Chain A
Amino acid sequence: GENVEQHPSTLSVQEGDSAVIKCTYSDSASNYFPWYKQELGKGPQLIIDIRSNVGEKKDQRIAVTLNKTAKHFSLHITETQPEDSAVYFCAASIGWGQFYFGTGTSLTVIP
């Protein structure tokens, strides 16, 4: 089955700086890669996703890049704000069936 690894497990940045979270996957059949943000006491919320026919996608301060050859994808958050503090999960899917999640990154933005 698919194996998704995520790094780092914790990340602290100063407000206004950028944050980068990286994930790798093992199954070349995976073609859909969502990112979720989970705030304390809440369910994961989809923030951005990318499909395998695209190399990069951007939505305001958030961007995701995908390298299919190397089987890795990354989340980039620019101009970080305190409200970006949360746990972030990457995931991979072959388009049906379960989503395989990374182990999460706890991001702290220091004001």
Chain B
Amino acid sequence: GAGVSQSPSNKVTEKGKDVELRCDPISGHTALYWYRQSLGQGLEFLIYFQGNSAPDKSGLPSDRFSAERTGGSVSTLTIQRTQQEDSAVYLCASSSQGLGTEAFFGQGTRLTVV
């Protein structure tokens, strides 16, 4: 498909384990975003990648969270030593950037920490 793809769609993990969430952006999109959405809440910014520039990590809630984007395409969000408060839907979006270009979201990964 031509949309943003995220995997897995659901992930249940034990407290203290590490998890990796994957995002495949739309081909050719230079900008990639990660947001977190807790149950019934809004969208919390985590991190933003744009081309080869240094990512904007200002939204990462703690040093247990990290993300990388390899080859300007696929991105992985890693959460180390997961806590119950990390349970949420993690959303990835991509855009072709430029002045006010649309961002398209994936379906999200629902993370449950038990």
**In the bound complex, how far is the Cα of B41 from the Cα of A52, in angstroms?**
28
Chain B 38-61 interface residues, beta-carbon cutoff 8 Å to A = 41-43, 45, 48, 50, 56, 59
Closest to A49 in B: B102
**In the bound complex, how far is the Cα of B105 from the Cα of A31, in angstroms?**
20
CB distance from B67 to the nearest CB of A (A): 13
Is B99 positioned at the interface, with any CB of A under 8 Å from its CB? yes
CB distance from A30 to the nearest CB of B (A): 10
CB distance from B21 to the nearest CB of A (A): 13
* Residues B107 and A104 in contact, CB atoms below 8 Å apart: no
**In the bound complex, how far is the Cα of B105 from the Cα of A45, in angstroms?**
7
C-beta contact mask, A64-94 vs B, less than 8 Å → 1, else 0? 0000000000000000000000000100010
* Residues B104 and A98 in contact, CB atoms below 8 Å apart: no
Within 8 Å by CB of A31, from B48, B91, B100, lies B100
Which A residues lie within 8 Å of B107 (CB)?
42-43
Number of interface residues of A (CB under 8 A): 23
Is B27 positioned at the interface, with any CB of A under 8 Å from its CB? no
Closest to A102 in B: B42
* Residues B98 and A101 in contact, CB atoms below 8 Å apart: no
Which B residues lie within 8 Å of A42 (CB)?
107-108
- With A43-B106, A97-B48, A98-B59 as known contacts, state yes or no: A32 contacts B91, CB within 8 Å: no
Is B65 positioned at the interface, with any CB of A under 8 Å from its CB? no
Counting from the closest, the 4 A-B pairs by CB-CB distance are A32-B100, A43-B105, A101-B43, A103-B42
User: Besides the contacts A45-B105, A95-B98, A96-B97, what 9 more A-B pairs have beta carbons closer than 8 Å?
Assistant: A32-B101, A44-B91, A98-B59, A99-B45, A99-B103, A101-B35, A101-B43, A104-B41, A104-B42
